[in-house]
Structure 1
Amino acid sequence: MTIRLRLTLWFSGILAAALIVLCVAIYFFVNMNTYADTKEQLRDQAESYDIVKYENGLNQTDLNIKRNSPFYEKDFYVQLVNYKEGIIKTSGELQVNGIKFPIPEAKTNPDYDYKKAELKTNEGEVAFLIYQVPIHNNTDGTLIGLLQVGAVVASEENYLAGLRVILIMSSLICLLLAFTIGLFLARKALQPIERVIRTTEQIQVGSDLSVRIPIEGPKDEIGRLVYTLNIMLSRIEMAYNGLDESYKAQRRFVSDASHELRTPLTTIRGNIELLQRVWSKTIDPEKAGDIVLALDTQRWELSNEAMQDISAEARRMSTLVNDLLALARADAGYEMEKTTLPMLPIVEEVGRRAGLLPRNAEWRIGDLSALNGYQVYGNADYLQQLLFIFIENAFKYTPSGWIELSAIHKENQLGIIIKDTGIGMNPEEVPHIFDRFYRADESRGKTVGTGLGLSIAKWIIDEHRGSIEVTTMEEEGSTFVIWLPIDFSPQPASIIMEGTDRNEV
């Protein structure tokens, strides 16, 4: 059984109970009001007769209808019963029609009052309302007779019968209409749920998480449910797309890492095979002499060159593995240890050590006074690594000109600027430079590197709740501004700066 049908049946059942109570109440009050005047007039008429004492005889009582009675226009009948003598005396109207009222059994304390009866007449059965008054002996209180005053209530009974039919038929019609309208309203009210079911089935069959449930009507409970489900579907779609993108990025990451590792491994293996071939050659003893000396010199030169290649590729592999390890830590949610640090000594130390790195462009240290007296909450080693990444990047892409390190202060942030006059890049490539293995130059071999440095830099910046601002133009150079939030907590009395080798990453 559907919810719609259950709701309709519940509504119809409650309405049926309410209609039954209402109809019974209406019928009861109408019945009471219909007979109220008739009963009062019957009682008044009965009390108007002068009942003679038993010793004078009941049969001498005048049973003629009072012409001043309110029953003048009604069919009115009187019957007097003598229990002692067994004589029944009736009014003239009863004698003409040959009707006798039913006589109740004589009792010591009979319960008379109003009685309804269906009496047979020449015209058929007629409904009567009879008011019965017992007559007692005033001397000893014994029951001696009965006075019955009756009136035809056929019109009242017909009226009440019609009322019953009207109440029953109207109740049935109301129930039928209520059931039909209730079924329609329940369908309209539950229509959003039908849309929810259709949408979820569509998602289940087609795996299209972009489908949304249309919102129609007021923002009632179902409207809020539909709104909440749409938000949930949006979040599920975002999570699913994020997982899908992560999976694709992971595949690209593995592919690029394999490519980057394959190149140095191929170089190392080729040089080792060359060394094996060179030193495996044998010389005829008879041809010894100058040939041996020349051959040894040649072997030494080849071996030295091969060793240099092996050393360079090994360092490159070590750098790549360290970068991969750093990114793996970032992906695993690694939390670096942080403390309150003065920023000026860190930047000055990086600037001094950067001047010792090999480069073609001029290295400049600009105005760093904006950092004086300010501190940040972070990790000194990782902050130095962050600066070296951008400085080495500037060295790499600036074959001539100059590179400058400076700083600015804006509101509650410190900005460290690395500006160069190098080859720059297309501004459209800026959103991608922090992607792993992304290289702005079209050819990977154009500049040496793993393509992971800026990804690590972005992770370090995020860990320090900072941001990066990039301004660049092709053949005009690039400017990187690293923004870090100022830490206004009390500065330690003394801070010892420790050296680090992270500039080699």
Structure 2
Amino acid sequence: MKWKMTGLFLIPLLLMTVAFTAINLTAAFYFLSGEENPEKEASESFFSYTEYTVAFARFITFVKGKPSITEEGQAQLIQRKAWIQILDPNGNEAYSLRRPESAPVRYTPGELVHYYKYSGAIEDSTLFVSWVSKDDEKWTYIIGYPMSYIAKYMVEFNPLRIMTFWKEGILTVLGLTFLMVLTIGYFFGRKLTKPLVEIINGIKLLAQGRYMVKYQPEGLYKDVYQSLNQLADALQASAVQRARTEKMRDEWVTNLSHDIKTPLSSIQGYGEILADLEYEIVADERRKYAEIIVGKTRYIESLLDDLRLTYQLKNHLLPLDKKESNIVEMLRQIIIDLLNDPQYGSCKMEFIPECEQVFLVFDHGFLTRAFTNLIYNAVIHNPPNTQVQIQVMEREKAVEIIVEDNGRGIEEEEVKRLFTRYYRGTNTNERHQGSGLGMAIAKQIIEAHQGIIEVKSRIGEGTCIRILFPKTEKEPPER
């Protein structure tokens, strides 16, 4: 994997090096072999001075045996800031235009060669030489160009040594160059690909369910490392939550199966008695057995209704019929109904509303069920002499309701799971029969009213449940 990733960087680097070298050599040859004259048209900005000098012969004319230059030729020389001398066959000047004062008027062959070879031999000029024929005689002409436009420098070389160098030196230089590029590219590629390999390996670990991937966010891939760490944390939290949910689901299925199996056993037993024609029973017994069967059937139906309700609340499928009502009156009626129940008539309960009228917009039926579950939970999971206190307080932006008891309390781990759909606390006593969905349903109903519910509890001291409702549905309550 490392070599493959490195190769992805190395091969393009080598190709770019070769292309870059070829382009630069071509460009160097092109630019150095010509001159850019800013005063010329763009289409003529590059040309060969040697070719131009040779072609300039077309502008040289002879009148009565004396050389001259056409107006077009003069204009071009002036445009290029060049000067010209035309020499007769004996090397004497026969014509000149813009000739520098330091330029001789007669040239020997040696002088002509010297001035031609070296730029700057005559002021700041570079000389190019050609000739024109007239009556079987050759007239030499010299054109001098500014050194800022074109310059010449002599280079001496040994052809044999060049051939040897081409065979050995050039190949050696190219080999060393490619070796250097290969080495630099390898380490550069390793540096770039190492984080990518780590990231790919980290993704593979996540795919295998190993979420303990942690990287130090740094370097070029800092954001990628940070995102990978966040993904690992999220997947790990999801896995823990999934395992916890599966465990609670198993517990709930076990409890629900037990709660359904027990009344089903009673229904089956009493049903078999009623169906047995050989078994003689009086009318009172028959009615008693039938009432038991009906009661057990209703109990099972209640369990299934709870399951359906929590599913609807979780998926927001239950429409709420919200109306403005007095929540103090609703809570007072719940307490009265509980105390009128012979089973809970001896409960110690205290209702403390801050004022008699606190109006909120809520679904009366569902919110009644939610607080009934909360208050009943405080009663049935505590000893008979437990004091239960319900308080209602109106705040600036919210209504606060507290259901507090001084009972046995709840362990910290159970507090975290108190409102879970598949959870039934370990403190449930023999008086309680249910699906374990009551507290989950209460929380879901409160949250459907944009409410907040919090629980604090200490073993041996009791439990406090705090509920906050916003006065307006648009604003969430402040904790």
Residue aligning to 1:186: 189
Residue aligning to 1:267: 266
Residue aligning to 2:465: 480
Structure 1 residue 392, shift from structure 2 partner: 1.9
Distance of 1:196 and 1:407 partners within structure 2: 55
2:354–2:394 CA contact under 8 A, matched in 1:
no
Residue aligning to 2:353: 368
1:15–1:175 CA contact under 8 A, matched in 2:
no
Aligned residue identity for 1:143: D
Equivalent position SS for 2:155 = helix
2:409–2:461 CA contact under 8 A, matched in 1:
yes
Structure 1 residue 306, shift from structure 2 partner: 3.4
Residue 11 of structure 1 pairs with residue 16 of structure 2: yes
Structure 1 residue 135, shift from structure 2 partner: 5.4
Distance of 1:154 and 1:468 partners within structure 2: 93
Residue aligning to 1:158: 157
Aligned residue identity for 1:419: E
1:470–1:479 CA contact under 8 A, matched in 2:
yes
Alignment of 1:86-235 (within 5 A): 133-134=131-132, 136=134, 142-145=135-138, 156-158=155-157, 173-174=176-177, 176-204=179-207, 207-212=208-213, 214-215=215-216, 217-218=218-219, 220=220, 222-235=221-234
Distance of 2:456 and 2:363 partners within structure 1: 26
Distance of 2:240 and 2:413 partners within structure 1: 24
Give the greater-gyration-radius structure (CA): 1
CA 1:156–1:201: 2 relative to 1, 3 Å: same
CA 1:452–1:216: 2 relative to 1, 3 Å: closer
**Quick one: which of 414, 417, 420 aligns to 2:402?**
417
Point out where structure 2 has 5 or more consecutive residues left out of the alignment.
Answer: 36-48, 54-83, 95-105, 118-126, 143-151, 475-479
Residue aligning to 2:296: 313
1:371–1:407 CA contact under 8 A, matched in 2:
no
Give % identity. Answer: 19
1:415–1:484 CA contact under 8 A, matched in 2:
yes
Structure 1 residue 261, shift from structure 2 partner: 0.6
CA 1:366–1:255: 2 relative to 1, 3 Å: closer
Distance of 2:453 and 2:308 partners within structure 1: 23
Residue aligning to 2:122: none
Residue 460 of structure 1 pairs with residue 459 of structure 2: no
2:334–2:372 CA contact under 8 A, matched in 1:
yes
Residue aligning to 1:395: 379
Residue aligning to 2:337: 353
TM-score (norm 1): 0.62
Equivalent position SS for 2:453 = strand
Structure 1 residue 384, shift from structure 2 partner: 0.7
Residue aligning to 1:257: 256
Distance of 2:446 and 2:192 partners within structure 1: 53
Aligned residues: 387
Give CA deviations for 1:138-161 in whole Å, capped at 9, x if unaligned.
xxxx23246799xxx997342999
TM-score (norm 2): 0.65
1:368–1:407 CA contact under 8 A, matched in 2:
yes
Distance of 1:353 and 1:189 partners within structure 2: 73
Structure 1 residue 475, shift from structure 2 partner: 5.0
Distance of 2:109 and 2:271 partners within structure 1: 147
Superposed CA RMSD in Å reads 4.6
Give CA deviations for 1:282-327 in whole Å, capped at 9, x if unaligned.
7xxxxxxxxxxxxx6xx45654553453344233223212211212
Point out where structure 1 has 5 or more consecutive residues left out of the alignment.
Answer: 54-62, 75-112, 115-130, 137-141, 283-295, 490-505
Deviates more, 1:382-391 or 1:440-449: 440-449
Residue aligning to 2:41: none
Structure 1 residue 429, shift from structure 2 partner: 2.6
**Quick one: which of 455, 463, 466 aligns to 1:470?**
455
Deviates more, 1:338-347 or 1:234-243: 234-243
2:354–2:392 CA contact under 8 A, matched in 1:
yes
Aligned residue identity for 1:182: G
Structure 1 residue 380, shift from structure 2 partner: 1.7
Give CA deviations for 1:20-78 in whole Å, capped at 9, x if unaligned.
14542686489xxxx99xx9xxx99978955699xxxxxxxxx9958999959x9xxxx
CA 1:487–1:212: 2 relative to 1, 3 Å: same
